[in-house]
Amino acid sequence: MLTYYLRGRRPMSLFDEAWMSGASGGSRLPIDLQEDAEAFELVAAVPGLKAEDIAIEVEDDVVTLRGKTTAGVEKNEGEYLLREIGTASFERRIRLPVPVESAKAKAVVEHGMLKLRIPKAEEARPKMIPVQSR
């Protein structure tokens, strides 16, 4: 079985639960997070997942992404010589710096990428203050 050696610790399978959960520093759900004046846009790599495989929860200013990869096909016949495709769960929490309007959030999965746009709460958006002459 393929293993990784991390900082002198015991060998771990590529799909070891601790590795996939990030407990050992592994990246289980790579993301990009951008901000503009109106909203946050989060993009996550979710290759092979469909919309029904992903759950998104927004509570206050914390976005939680959950899912399960089921790419590995279970076979009872024969023995694996090498196994790198497995089934694993992931969860990723991201705290946003300002309040958001979760009811107006929109998410789509396309070509293995999850795109989530969450508008900022009105009170968190920048305001233009007119300047008057005297």
Total structural domains within the chain: 1
67-95: average pLDDT: 78
Residue 22 has pLDDT above 90, yes or no: no
This model's pTM is above 0.85: no
Whether 4 is in a domain gets the answer no
Domain containing residue 104: 29-121
Strands, E, within the chain: which ranges?
3-4, 12-13, 31-35, 39-45, 54-59, 62-70, 87-95, 106-110, 113-119
Contact indicator for 90, 29 with CB cutoff of 8 Å: yes
Is residue 93 included in any domain, yes or no? yes
- The answer, yes or no, to whether residue 134 has pLDDT greater than 60, is yes
61 located within any domain = yes
Query: Is residue 37 included in any domain, yes or no?
Result: yes
Query: What CATH number corresponds to the domain at position 44?
Result: 2.60.40.790
- Whole-number pLDDT of residue 69: 79
In angstroms, the Cα distances linking 121 to 62, 64, 83, 108 are: 13, 18, 46, 21
Is residue 110's pLDDT more than 70? yes
What is the structure's pLDDT at 72? 58
